[in-house]
């Protein structure tokens, strides 16, 4: 390759980088800076100069911290349950995942949007829903109203279930791919040959290998659930709100003075996610 060709190549790379920055990074950083300025009273229709009042209001009310803790609880529960289910399917239904109906059926829930999944869970678990009617039909409850509250409940059962249903196929496909890529079938033979039983291999080799390899993806999925909006809006509790629902409520309120608080919540949540990402990725790199 000649020097002029090399120069042309490096110029092209520079252009591509600039286009990437312009399309992907700039809107996000710009939005974040605008949100920060809005929350500090430096932007917006009702801005009256720099103030920390909106941030003080958000932190003093405790609503943000409560919503953040609730979001972490929902995301952790959903990821824990989904990971366990996906591990079980990957480790004990290997053949079915490679061929047969299950390998196709697994893709089906991936095509369902979050809003539709929330609606399906609502139809399934509400007091007048499908599960309630089945249980009533079996004579286990005397009235449909006796069916436990599994949507709009404080524990977020419905939200967790909806996210688990969406996450399990994705994680199963991911774990299955890791299983093959990491040669776990052959490692199982090695483990057995060295004297270990099936359960020892699963506990000491298969699960740690899959989880270590999948850790960055699990972290990203955790963050995705943490910031989810449609599902908690549809089947979440009135008492406990996830962060996105709380922020959007602030934006949509009649009182325009609440909008800076909405921005403060969004910026604080973004900073929390960035902090979580940087700490976790550093740890993962150290152990990787």
Give yes or no for a contact between 260 and 39, defined as CB atoms under 8 angstroms apart: yes
Asked if 278 interacts with another protein (CB under 8 A), we say no
If you search the block for the tokens 């229709």, which residue do you land on? 45
CA distances from 71 to 4, 22, 61, 214, 244 (A): 54, 31, 17, 22, 9
If you search the block for the tokens 């959903």, which residue do you land on? 78
Asked if 197 interacts with another protein (CB under 8 A), we say yes
Stretch that binds another protein, among 20-28, 96-104, 116-124, 197-205 (CB under 8 A): 197-205
3-state secondary structure 88-106: HHHHHCHHHHHCCHHHHHC
Asked if 205 interacts with another protein (CB under 8 A), we say yes
Q: How far is the CB of 184 from another protein (least distance, A)?
A: 10
Asked if 27 interacts with another protein (CB under 8 A), we say no
> In this chain, which of 4, 193, 199, 255 binds another protein, going by CB under 8 A?
193
Asked if 187 interacts with another protein (CB under 8 A), we say yes
Q: What angle do CA 128, 132, 136 make, to 5 degrees?
A: 110
Asked if 284 interacts with another protein (CB under 8 A), we say no
Q: What angle do CA 20, 173, 130 make, to 5 degrees?
A: 110
If you search the block for the tokens 């020097």, which residue do you land on? 3
Q: How far is the CB of 81 from another protein (least distance, A)?
A: 23
Q: Which is nearer to another protein, 148 or 197 (CB)?
A: 197
C-alpha–C-alpha distance, residues 192 and 174, integer Å: 25
Q: Which is nearer to another protein, 112 or 205 (CB)?
A: 205
Q: Which is nearer to another protein, 30 or 288 (CB)?
A: 288
Site size with another protein, rule: CB under 8 A: 18
Q: How far is the CB of 190 from another protein (least distance, A)?
A: 5
Site string for another protein, 210-239 (x = CB under 8 A): --x---------------------------
Stretch that binds another protein, among 64-72, 102-110, 188-196, 276-284 (CB under 8 A): 188-196
Q: How far is the CB of 84 from another protein (least distance, A)?
A: 19
> In this chain, which of 194, 254, 255, 286 binds another protein, going by CB under 8 A?
194
Binding site residues, another protein, CB under 8 A:
182-183, 186-187, 189-197, 200, 205, 208-209, 212
């Amino acid at each position: 390759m000649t020097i002029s060709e090399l120069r042309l190549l490096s110029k092209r790379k520079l252009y591509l980088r600039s286009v990437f920055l312009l399309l992907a990074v700039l809107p996000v950083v710009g939005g974040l800076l605008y949100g920060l300025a809005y929350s500090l009273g430096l932007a917006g229709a009702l801005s009256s100069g720099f103030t920390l009042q909106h941030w003080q209001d958000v932190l003093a009310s405790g609503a943000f911290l409560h919503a953040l803790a609730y979001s972490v609880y929902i995301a952790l529960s959903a990821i824990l349950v989904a990971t366990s289910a996906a591990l079980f399917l990957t480790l004990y239904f290997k053949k079915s995942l490679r061929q047969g109906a299950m390998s196709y059926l697994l893709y089906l829930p991936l095509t369902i949007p979050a809003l539709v999944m929330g609606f399906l869970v609502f139809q399934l678990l509400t007091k007048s829903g499908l599960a309630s009617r089945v249980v009533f039909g079996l004579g286990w409850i005397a009235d449909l109203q006796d069916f436990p509250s599994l949507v709009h409940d404080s524990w977020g059962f419905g939200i967790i279930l909806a996210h688990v249903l969406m996450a399990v196929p994705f994680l199963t496909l991911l774990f299955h791919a890791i299983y093959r890529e990491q040669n776990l079938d052959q490692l199982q033979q090695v483990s057995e040959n060295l004297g270990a039983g099936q359960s020892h291999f699963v506990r000491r080799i298969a699960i740690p290998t899959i989880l270590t390899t999948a850790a960055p993806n699990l972290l990203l999925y955790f963050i995705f659930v943490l910031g989810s909006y449609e599902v908690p809006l549809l089947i979440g509790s009135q008492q406990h709100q996830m962060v996105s629902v709380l922020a959007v409520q602030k934006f949509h309120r009649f009182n325009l003075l609440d909008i800076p608080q909405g921005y403060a919540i969004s910026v604080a949540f973004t900073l929390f996610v960035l902090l979580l990402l940087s700490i976790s990725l550093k740890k993962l790199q150290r152990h990787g």
